[in-house]
Structures are given as C-alpha cells and as structure tokens.
Amino acid sequence: MRKTLFTTILLILLFSCGENRSENQPLIENAVDNTDSSLKGSFGSSRYEDNIIDKIYSELIKNDKKLSALDGKILKIHEEESKVIHPYKNIFIKSDDYYRDGKSQTNSITDSLMKHQIEKEIKLSKEKYDLKVKNIKALISQISKNTETINNLYTVFKIRKTLPEIEKYQNAHPLKADSLEHFIGKQNQLLDALKNVK
C-alpha cells in the first residue's frame, strides 16, 4: 500500500513539474515591467527608487526629453533653494543662539541693577535685529510655500502620468484562474490519496 501511495504522489509531483505555464507573461512591453529590469541593472543610479510610482516615472523619463527636462528643472530648483537659503539660516541660528545665551548668562549676575540694564540692552538689540530680518524671514517663508506647492503639483503630475502605465501593465498581465484551479485539482488528488492511505 505504501508503494502505491508513494507512486501516486511521485506521479502527481512529476506531472506538476513537467508543466510550464506562461499565462501571466506580459502581452506587451510597458514601463512597469521595465522597472524590474532597470533595478537589477542600475539600482542606486536613479534618484527614483523609493516607490513604484517614482520607478515607473523614471522609466518614462528615459524615453521622453520633455519629461527629463522638467525633472531636471525640479531637481535644479531644489538645489538652488538650499544654496540660497543656507547662508541666511546660519546667520539666524547664530543670532538666536547669541540672544538665548545672553539671556541665560544674565541669570548669573548678582547685581540686580547691572542685570536689569544688560537684559534691557539684549532685548533692544534683539528687537532691532528682529525688525531688520522681518522681511528676509517673510521671503524665506514664501520660498518654502512655493517649494511645497511645486512638490504637490509635481507629485500630482507624476501620479497622473503613471496611472495609464499601471493600467497598461494590468491589461498586459491578464489574470487567469486556470493554473490556480489546475493546481487545486492536484492538491485534491494528493489529499484523496492521503485520506485513503491505510
């Protein structure tokens, strides 16, 4: 009886290994399938490698000069923003640190008249400085808002540009149940064989 069961199981396994179904192979080439091959070949070479939308968009950029130029402009504006704002931020940080430390050090002054006088001088200096940089801070705030809007618009653009690609990918990979149903049939045969073992 064991030989019969072993032979049955062996035949089922051999039969299942001998089949090579390619139902889910793509019918047409698309950007989504290409994300797999580009990742194998050059992972890390693209700035788009975090999520599937960016990976698909990266594939579209490769074949579209206008998209590539737009992407270059976005990248350049982000780099320029950092360079433009950085010097101002350094000055703000050092100035804020100074006034904070000045206020902290006045706490160690034991002469109340001297303490009051230096606190007043620090406060006047800070108010004068705040007035001087008010417009600069407003401009930097506007730059930040513009960057946020640019990022939002570009994200929406990329999603709209890649939606047809994921739909094309889905259509190129028709999901048929045949191989799954066939496999369940094999499992059922094996289950029957195991149930009848004595």
The per-residue pLDDT for 174 is 82
Tokens describing residue 9: 């199981």
The per-residue pLDDT for 173 is 84
Instruction: Give a three-class secondary structure readout of 92-161.
Output: HHHHHHHHHHHHHHHCCCCCHHHHHHHHHHHHHHHHHHHHHHHHHHHHHHHHHHHHHHHHHHHHHHHHHH
Distance CA 109, CA 100 (A): 15
The per-residue pLDDT for 28 is 52
The answer to whether the predicted template modeling score (pTM) of the entire model surpasses 0.75 is no
Domain range list for the chain: 47-175
Q: How far is CA 105 from the centre of its chain?
A: 45
CA distances from 32 to 55, 91, 104, 106, 162 (A): 8, 47, 58, 64, 9
- Mean pLDDT by runs of 10 across the 198 residues of the chain is 51 47 51 57 45 93 93 95 94 96 95 95 97 97 97 97 93 88 94 89
Tell me if 15 sits within 8 A of 8, measured CB to CB: no
Tokens describing residue 119: 């606190």
The per-residue pLDDT for 41 is 33
